[in-house]
Structure formats: structure tokens, C-alpha cells
Amino acid sequence: MKMKQAGQKIVVLTSYDASFTRVIEAAGVDVILVGDSLGMVVQGQESTLPVRVEDMVYHTQNVARARRRCLLVADMPFMSYSSVEQALSTAGCLMKEGGAHMVKLEGGATQLKTVEQLADHGIPVCAHLGLLPQSVHKLGGYRVQGRDQESAAVMKEDALSLQNVGAQMLVLECVPTGLAAEISALLDIPVIGIGAGVDCDGQVLVIYDMLGISGEEYLPRFVKNFMPTADSIQGAVANYVEAVRTGHFPGDEQSFS
Ligand code: KIV
């Protein structure tokens, strides 16, 4: 919140183990996300859907053991927050056993009651709007969201409502730059973009994507490989940090209109 108020860009990167966590911390990243993207980049699954709470706890523990400075956010996996009671139980595991500081969940209006209850129980929540990978089959694929007036208006309303019920951070994935800029200006909480343009309060990438080793045949347009211009993994992560801080990443070529 202080960084947003001071106009400082927030640098977020995923990590799933202790060694990458040490590299990330040394490079000056602000927030580590143990994303359920681990289903694809670590487990080799086709989507994030098969990821279990046990998997998230295990990887969050690995990261927490090496973490010294960064805020540690852990994803609530698919179907682990389909009722308020289940969400409280999942968030409890991620925080008590995993060592997470904040939990992230996907969805707008349908999640308001859950976010409110989590916040009321002292659990910091990061919401996630735009492209929701856990709803990939409902969305019919990984596509840019909020391009028409109606869906843009719904996203703005959802973002405000999530903040009003207690969300303390918001991830916007695959959203046109102009809409993401509007939502970032509208909210007091930090808005972290991935494929959402340069005007968000911060940026997040999957670490294996930005190191060019995720092995995916198709890489989304919002990904930039920072390895070719660096002489080490540490250097590539440091270049990512610098590019986000100075507003050089993402460029137009990693953004959507
Ligand atoms: O799972 C993940 O890594 C994420 C980011 C891509 C935002 O949710």
C-alpha cells in the first residue's frame, strides 16, 4: 500500500522452491507468489486445475524456509474455496502449515462473501480478475478479457467490490492496457498486472517463463525472456526488477489494446 501511495512500482515474481527464492530476494523483488502455475511449469500438467492444496502447502513451505524479506503470497488452488468454510480451511493450511502471508483466489462477484469472511478472520487476500486460468474451460481458452464495454464495466465493478469487502491486492491478467490503467487509478489497493499493460501498480511473471525455460510450446504474448541479455539467472531477475521499476516492462509488444 505504501509503495502504491509513493508511486513506486511493485515487482512480483513466482517461486516454488528455496533456491529460486534466494535468487529472487537477492535481486530485489518485493513479492513472491507461489502460483498454482506450478501445476504447469513444475508438475507438467496441461492446466492449473489438477493442483491440490497439499501441493501448494509443500511448495509454499519450500519458499518460506528461504524467504527473509519478500511478502509471500500463495494461490488457493481450483475447487479449494468453493464455500466460505472450505476457503477458511484452505487459507488456514496455506498460512499455518505453508507460512504464507496472503492468499490469492480467482473471481469477482461470486467471491465477495468469501473474501469478506477471509478478511474478517485476519487473512490478507489478493483477488484475481481478467483471465482466470482456473476457469479456462468455461472461458473457452486463454483469451484477453474485458475488451467490450459490458465486460469492462463488470470488471471495474468487481474490482471495486472486492476492495470494499477487504481484498488488499488485485492481480489483473490479460486485460487491455487502458482498462487496467482505469482500474489501477480507481482502487486504493495495489493492482499487479500480467498482460495488463505498464500502468498497473506492479507486474508479475512466472519465473520459468521470464528465464525462457518453461518448456511451453506456446508462450503468451505478455511474457518476456530476460535471459538472452543477461549473463546469469541472477542477472536476468535483476534486469526484470529494473525494467518493472523504471516502467520499461511491459512494453507495447507485451501488452493488449
Ligand atoms: O499461478 C500463477 O502463477 C499466477 C500468476 C500468473 C498471476 O496466478
Q: Where are the domains of the chain?
A: 2-254
| Architecture per CATH, 2-254 | Alpha-Beta Barrel (3.20)
pLDDT value for 127: 99
Those residues whose C-beta lies under 8 Å from the C-beta of residue 172, and which sit 6 or more positions away, are 129, 130, 180, 183, 191, 192, 193, 194, 196, 200
Closest among 1, 14, 16, 10 to 28, alpha carbons compared: 10
14 lines ligand 1 (CB under 6 A): yes
pLDDT value for 216: 67
55 lines ligand 1 (CB under 6 A): no
Regions of the chain where pLDDT drops below 50 = none
pLDDT value for 89: 98
pLDDT value for 215: 74
pLDDT value for 186: 98
pLDDT value for 214: 86
Q: Which atom of ligand 1 is nearest to the CA of 106?
A: 8
Distance 235 CA to ligand 1 centre (A): 22
Distance 121 CA to ligand 1 centre (A): 24
Q: Are strands 102-106 and 10-14 parallel, antiparallel or unpaired?
A: unpaired
pLDDT value for 245: 98
98 lines ligand 1 (CB under 6 A): no
pLDDT value for 108: 98
CA angle 29, 30, 32 (to 5 degrees): 80
